[in-house]
Amino acid sequence: MLSMKLLLTFSLLMGVFAKECGYGLEDFSNQVVVTNTSAVADAFVAVAFDHGQVTMYVEGGKSRTAIALAATEYTVKVTNPGSGEYGTYRDQLLATRDWLLDVTISASAPESAVAEAWTQLLSVQAALDQMTDSDKVQSCSGELGTGGTSQVTLQWLDTSDGTALWALDCG
């Protein structure tokens, strides 16, 4: 019982000390700022830390911040903003990849279409590479330093076949 009283007293004194010295939560926390650069797609994002997870809705063109205490790593997960009626996100990306590959080997495709298909193919493959855990979730990870802030960027890219995908950058 005495140790609990000592712990509470110590915590209270540390709080008073921090307030008097101008320290706040931000001085002891880590932040992951998620920015959705898309003008057309909103994102449902989960930011997982060593000891918990923050889920948030990030509107197109806006930023949101996830805060954790004493975290060292984070993983950001995002999924297709549409409903599930078109199958899984991974299935959509695989179909887009196949279509883009067909364009690149087509003898009748204009040179500009082939160049555009190659560019989009790199983005589709990057999205597929970020889908290690699920058929519906794309993710990237990063490390945090003490009191650090990390920036994550989400961008919704349209492809030539009429589908779209997330481009994630965890810095």
Reported as a single tens digit per residue, the pLDDT across 114-169 is: 888 999 999 999 999 998 767 788 999 998 865 678 999 999 999 888 888 999 99
Residues 142 and 101: beta-carbon distance below 8 Å: no
- The domain spanning residue 114 has which CATH number? 2.60.40.10
**pLDDT tens sequence across 86-117:** 568 888 899 999 999 998 888 888 888 888 89
% of the chain surpassing 90 pLDDT: 43
For the four alpha carbons of 88, 133, 62 and 158, in that order, the dihedral sign comes to: negative
Domain count, the chain: 1
User: Which domain does 67 fall in, by range?
Assistant: 2-169
Mean pLDDT of the chain: 82
Residues 154 and 38: beta-carbon distance below 8 Å: yes
Helices 89-105, 111-129: axis angle to 10 degrees equals 150
